[in-house]
Amino acid sequence: MSPSPPAPLRDLRLAPHPEGGAYREVFRSRATVVTPRGPRPSATAILFLLAAGEFSRWHAVANPEWWHLLDGDSVELTWLGADLAECHRRVLGPGDPPCLVPAGCWQTALSLGQESLVGCTVSPGFDFADFTLLRDSPAATEVTRRHPHLASRL
């Protein structure tokens, strides 16, 4: 028998996310919009938990994603510009305004404490068909060459 998950996981009914951390979708709009990848809900939102030392693996989402710190410790967000050269970093702490990661950017996040609970809102809404892990992309070699200090997050 496996041990019980930590209390926040039990209380929030979170499940493991493919990029790392744990999540639960809490909103999916019934309104849909047409995107180049097909119809999508107009917006979606999840709860996303990163525990101490945990990070989200480099990934890209086809649409813009707003990150909101809801509870816990600060979270470090890092994303790359379209040319893969420009590296953006933002620490999202208690009381800070949300942070927008532009559509299609490679991104990663790291909890800077014991745990960070964030809300992630995507519009047009998230679909796993619009999600790519960097390790599964030809861009992985170039990203790790340009940003070796972040290569461990593949």
Q: Are 47 and 12 in contact (CB under 8 A)?
A: yes
Q: For the segment 29-53, what is each residue's pLDDT rounded down to a tens digit?
A: 999 999 999 999 999 999 999 999 8
Query: What residues form DSSP beta bridges with 48?
Result: 23, 118
Q: For the segment 110-119, what is each residue's pLDDT rounded down to a tens digit?
A: 999 999 999 9
Q: Which amino acid is at 24?
A: R
Q: Using CA atoms, how far apart are residues 73 and 40, in angstroms rounded to an integer?
A: 32
| Average pLDDT value for residue range 81-99 | 95
137: number of CA atoms within 13 Å, CB side?
A: 18
Q: Are 52 and 111 in contact (CB under 8 A)?
A: yes
Per-residue pLDDT for 7 more than 60? no
Q: Using CA atoms, how far apart are residues 58 and 135, in angstroms rounded to an integer?
A: 8
DSSP string over the chain: -PPPPPHHHHHHT-EE-TTSSEEEEEEE-S-EEEETTEEEES-EEEEEEEETT-EEEEEEESS-EEEEEEEES-EEEEEE-TTS--EEEEEE-TTPPPEEEPTT--EEEEESSSEEEEEEEESSPP-GGGEEEGGGSTTHHHHHHH-GGGGGG-
Position 1 scores a pLDDT of 39
